[in-house]
Each structure stands twice: as structure tokens, then as C-alpha cells.
Chains A and B, each alone.
Chain A
């Protein structure tokens, strides 16, 4: 099983600051099959990034994904008030096919 470890657990930042979230895999992720999701309290998770760096439909360009192999990063260039949430990474090419990281909470400093 591919285990995904996200860091940090919590990121305390102010609006306008840059957020850098890390996702490290225990094995190489096949063909960069890595996605990122955002979840706010009481809401369903929302797809942000797939294929490690492709933005989903309607996602602002302040969100960007990068990385390959075992190390992946989600960057939010300038935090907007609506970006404070929990972010999860997911791999979708291993066995079992889908596993998730434990999440990074981005909170207001």
C-alpha cells in the first residue's frame, strides 16, 4: 500500500501569504497519479489538482501543484479568506488504487 504523509499537520498563515503543503509517498506514485482536494467544514471535498499539476475546472490559478515520484507540493500563491480549509492529497495509481494523506489544515494566524 502506498502511504501518503502530509506536512505540516497545521499551517498558520495570514491572508495574502503563500502556503506550501507537502505530500510524501512511501513509494513512487505511478505516472504522477496524484490529486489534491480542499474540504471546508460541513462541505464536500472539492477537487483542486489532478495528475500532480493540472488544475480542475474552475480552480483559481493561485493554486498550483508540482512534484513527481514520491514528493509532491500544493502551493497557494496568495491566501484568500476562502482558502482556509483542510487539504488532502490522494494517489490513484497504486494498490489499493486509492489512498489519501491525513490532511493539512490551513488556519488563520
Chain B
């Protein structure tokens, strides 16, 4: 059974940093692309970032470019999202998401974690 368990969320002040982690199990982690998707009350679901199976291809949504960094450790079956210069509008439930293939472009999302809440507020 595929399991994606996020951690590292919480309350943080604007301008500060937070690192999200996702522990994956139930599949061969380094065979698949992975993503972060967030849900906000105002904008609904938004794709944040994606990374190919070997970290060779990475992309970000414009609203996080230069502030967030996605990475993965295939030896630890883990996905990460380093979030710097956080803004109140980054407040959201962040989901770790698995793709159906190794390449991250042109792919849908076949499994989602339940999400971890990040609140950016002073």
C-alpha cells in the first residue's frame, strides 16, 4: 500500500523558514517523480513544485520560485520542501504527491498524502 506521510509543518512568522518532509513507503521510491501541491481557502489546489526520479528535472510554480527548494533522498525514500522567505499567502495544507512515472512532465498524480498544515502569521 502506497503511503505518503508529511511532517515539519507548523506556525511560522513571515520571512522565516520551514522544511517539510515526506516519508514514502509501499512503492519503489526512486522509480517515480514526486510533487508538492498545496490547498488554500482562497485559491484551492495549487501545484507548488515537482522533481523527477533522479532529481535531474525540477520545476516550481512562479509564486514560489527563488524561495522554495524541492529535493529528494532516494536512499531514505524521502521528499523535502525547503521553504524560505515565507509569506502569509503561503498559509496552506501542503500535500506530498506521487506521479505515475519517472518523468515529472505531462503526468497526473496517482497518490496523495493527507497533507501538513503550514501557517504563516505574526
Is the A/B pair a real complex? yes
- Please list the residues of chain A having a beta carbon within 8 angstroms of any beta carbon in chain B: 30-31, 33, 35, 37, 42-47, 50-51, 56, 88, 90, 92-93, 96-103
Q: A93-B106, A96-B62, A97-B50 are known contacts. Are A45 and B112 too (CB-CB below 8 A)? A: yes
Which residues, 1 to 58 on B, are CB-close (under 8 Å) to A?
Answer: 4, 35, 37, 44-47, 50
A100 contact set on B, CB distance < 8 A: 44-47
- A to B CB contacts below 8 Å, 27 in the list: A31-B106, A33-B106, A35-B108, A35-B109, A44-B4, A44-B112, A44-B114, A44-B115, A45-B45, A45-B95, A47-B109, A47-B110, A47-B111, A50-B100, A90-B45, A92-B108, A96-B47, A96-B61, A97-B47, A97-B105, A98-B35, A98-B109, A99-B47, A100-B44, A100-B45, A103-B44, A103-B45
Expressed in whole angstroms, the Cα–Cα distance for A74 and B111 within the complex equals 19
Q: Are A92 and B113 in contact (CB under 8 A)?
A: no
In the complex, which residues of chain A have a beta carbon less than 8 angstroms from the beta carbon of B37?
98
Q: Give chain B residues whose Cβ lies under 8 Å from the Cβ of A98.
A: 35, 37, 47, 50, 109
Interface size on B, residues (CB 8 A): 24
Give the residue name and chain of the B residue nearest to A35 (CB): B108
A-B contact count (CB 8 A): 61
For the complex formed, measure the closest distance between the CB of A78 and the CB atoms of chain B, giving whole angstroms: 25
Would you call B114 and A50 a contact (CB within 8 A)?
no
Residue of A nearest to B104 (CB): A97
Cα-based distance from A99 to B63 in the complex (angstroms): 13
Q: Which residues of B contact A35 (CB under 8 A)?
A: 108-109
- Enumerate chain A residues within 8 angstroms of B62, measured Cβ to Cβ: 96
- B115: chain A residues within 8 A (beta carbon): 44
Smallest CB gap from A31: residue in B: B106
Q: B61's closest neighbor in chain A, by CB? A: A96
Instruction: With both chains docked as a complex, state the minimum distance between the C-beta of A11 and any C-beta of chain B, in angstroms.
Output: 17
**Extra pairs beyond A47-B111, A103-B45 (8, CB < 8 Å):** A30-B106, A43-B114, A44-B4, A44-B115, A47-B110, A97-B106, A98-B35, A102-B44
Shortest A38–chain B CB gap in Å is 11
Q: Which residue of B lies closest to A36 (CB)?
A: B108
A70 to B112, CA, bound (A): 26
